[in-house]
Structure 1
């Protein structure tokens, strides 16, 4: 079997799909994308395909090593996102060729389903109590919300109070065991992160996400001392070597590699195993489409330390083009009592609606994250 052709499709709301075709007629799908830089990743895929066309798609480990190591300059968000989408498509082909879900090729499942959470509140968190109650009524046992708006290096305590009020509103609208993930989104600098960790502890969050930017990960263990709250991070990390340094420094309790940014299924399976050796949980990052979500669940299925899965069905970014709009077999993601059952189809199990995909590719997108400012006009992290 040989790979003979490929196509990429940039589609709303902010995604890119890859179609790999073989000389046997088997097709594999991937999502090589970096939010806000989709066209750049698309170009990187085009360059990397020089190493893929004509090769046997079943030799995934060798292809991964060539795609990563054959370049003098390695890693980083663009190249690793391109590699991730290719890797997903290769696993999709291999699973289809053998007639089994990808997780069966990774050692077989160690669970029947994975707990999931649903996003509420938007970029500037609002109306979180109502939305949390709605998610609970849909069966979700956990939600995630942005904690703050802009925060300067040292900021007003009124903003701290606003975070506490929002989280308390969610707790009051749900119940004591509702999982509440609070995403600091890298918006919080060290001084305010210490304050928020201390103040949030009595509200018993499920985790605090990205309390610091990746460039300050050496201080995570310091922030962790201020509140007995699990710390999650890792969506802006791209290889096992990035995670190795993070795990060795300590302070993190949950890692969140993105299957469309951190080297795909091949690499994230290795990252998950490495985290298990440090007694650290796995919760893959996935505010993306159906191929990325299925790729995450395939790894969740075989990783004992996987605890919860992000999914973006109905997230505020997806208005008009949601996750399930791009698939024919919408039952592939079955949610029951807050858990997502494992896909049963061969490969990634996702039957892409190619007609719809091609129509949406005519629309395309040029999504950019907002640029925020503090009151004094200085740049604020989004």
Structure 2
């Protein structure tokens, strides 16, 4: 049994993508001409890029959508390293890809490794005739609880209240909202952030977990002042308040108040997460299997987190890989997954089988592999990259 080819391809097709109602604060917002950017507009089409790992007997593993920037890295660096190898030798293949380039430890090359690793797990599942969660040792529960991630939704008070209640009625027991303002917006912006937190808490009541995301758009001073203001609303966590590399600052934020701290969406590999754990500054690790090293590495990150008594709640760029890992691991370490309510239907637009929560939880997939297949009826053009 040998890998015969590693291919990347792009699909396009018509889609109704609504305009973003509001955008989140970001790192570039310290500059006024970037801070004034409007939310993204509507689109009438969708594009998706995927990686496919083929086995000589005709089976294939599929994963995506992936970042287009990773395609040349997959084709030029990783494919030659694993073509001809046994696709079942997962630890060997991951280590070879990791050791193949001294810059593979972070960034786009690790994201490329992640995509190939996830496609390899899909292939192994298909070869075994089992869903990936089974190959990983699961299930540990019949469904995967999810929280509603509210990126892109309006901050107009009446619409916030309506959306909060809509998510509760849909069965979600936790929600995450995204702050719009940062240090350059001064005290006025700070008060607007507090107003968002207040409206969401009042609409949700006392028995719904709430989280707030800053998408690396703050600095330590601003975050410390905001933590004091957020404490009355009892957030389950404050997410990515500062850029990912400011590891020591996460510990300072955690010491500054009683708001738990989350990060890890933009961290890579078990070694990066070990640094976060060793500083004692993070309560929740948000490793994304699409980027952190794949399914293989997310499981190892979970093992580290369990030794430190920390939760892993994967970032939700792709719900497929995260859901399979969460379903296979103990709930005390992996309590739930993220579901981007507005964006996951767009990300899964070309898929035959939509993986989405019902009643606030995802029913375990039963298809072999990850369950990602392209629906030809939704594709008007396909080209190899």
* TM-score bracket for this pair, using the shorter chain length: 0.7 to 0.9
Give ranges in structure 1 of 5+ residues lacking alignment: 365-382
SS in structure 2 of the partner of residue 225 of structure 1: helix
Change (3 A) 1:336 1:210: same
Change (3 A) 1:119 1:361: farther
Q: How does 1:37-116 map to 2 (within 5 A)?
A: 38-47=67-76, 48-116=78-146
Aligned to 1:353: 375
Aligned to 1:147: 179
Give ranges in structure 2 of 5+ residues lacking alignment: 13-45
- How far residue 110 of structure 1 moved from its aligned partner, in angstroms, is 1.6
Tell me if the contact between 1:125 and 1:149 (Cα under 8 Å) persists in the aligned partners: no
Aligned to 2:3: 3
CA–CA distance in structure 1, aligned partners of residues 51 and 319 of structure 2: 15
Structure 1 residues 177-216: Cα deviation after superposition (integer angstroms, max 9, x where no partner): 2221100111110001001111101101121101221121
Q: How does 1:1-382 map to 2 (within 5 A)?
A: 1-10=1-10, 15-31=48-64, 33=66, 38-47=67-76, 48-120=78-150, 122=152, 125-126=155-156, 127-152=159-184, 156-287=186-317, 292-304=318-330, 305-315=333-343, 322-330=346-354, 333=355, 335-354=357-376, 356=378, 358-359=379-380, 361=382
CA–CA distance in structure 2, aligned partners of residues 107 and 99 of structure 1: 15
CA RMSD in angstroms, aligned pairs only:
2.2
Structure 1 residues 309-364: Cα deviation after superposition (integer angstroms, max 9, x where no partner): 1123423xx7xx7244222233xx352331112212211123332553x53657x9
Structure 1 runs (4+) deviating above 6 angstroms are none
CA–CA distance in structure 2, aligned partners of residues 62 and 180 of structure 1: 40
Tell me if the contact between 2:5 and 2:79 (Cα under 8 Å) persists in the aligned partners: no
Tell me if the contact between 2:248 and 2:281 (Cα under 8 Å) persists in the aligned partners: no
CA–CA distance in structure 2, aligned partners of residues 222 and 311 of structure 1: 29
- How far residue 262 of structure 1 moved from its aligned partner, in angstroms, is 0.7
Tell me if the contact between 1:121 and 1:131 (Cα under 8 Å) persists in the aligned partners: no
SS in structure 2 of the partner of residue 4 of structure 1: strand
Tell me if the contact between 1:114 and 1:309 (Cα under 8 Å) persists in the aligned partners: yes
Change (3 A) 1:100 1:8: same
CA–CA distance in structure 1, aligned partners of residues 248 and 11 of structure 2: 37
Tell me if the contact between 2:98 and 2:105 (Cα under 8 Å) persists in the aligned partners: yes
Aligned to 1:371: none
CA–CA distance in structure 2, aligned partners of residues 52 and 263 of structure 1: 16
TM-score, normalised via structure 2 length? 0.84
CA–CA distance in structure 2, aligned partners of residues 94 and 216 of structure 1: 37
Matched residue count: 346
Change (3 A) 1:355 1:28: farther
- How far residue 121 of structure 1 moved from its aligned partner, in angstroms, is 5.1
CA–CA distance in structure 1, aligned partners of residues 381 and 228 of structure 2: 46
CA–CA distance in structure 2, aligned partners of residues 186 and 272 of structure 1: 23
SS in structure 2 of the partner of residue 232 of structure 1: strand
Aligned to 2:41: none
CA–CA distance in structure 1, aligned partners of residues 303 and 122 of structure 2: 21
CA–CA distance in structure 1, aligned partners of residues 154 and 217 of structure 2: 12
CA–CA distance in structure 1, aligned partners of residues 96 and 248 of structure 2: 31
SS in structure 2 of the partner of residue 205 of structure 1: coil
CA–CA distance in structure 2, aligned partners of residues 251 and 76 of structure 1: 21
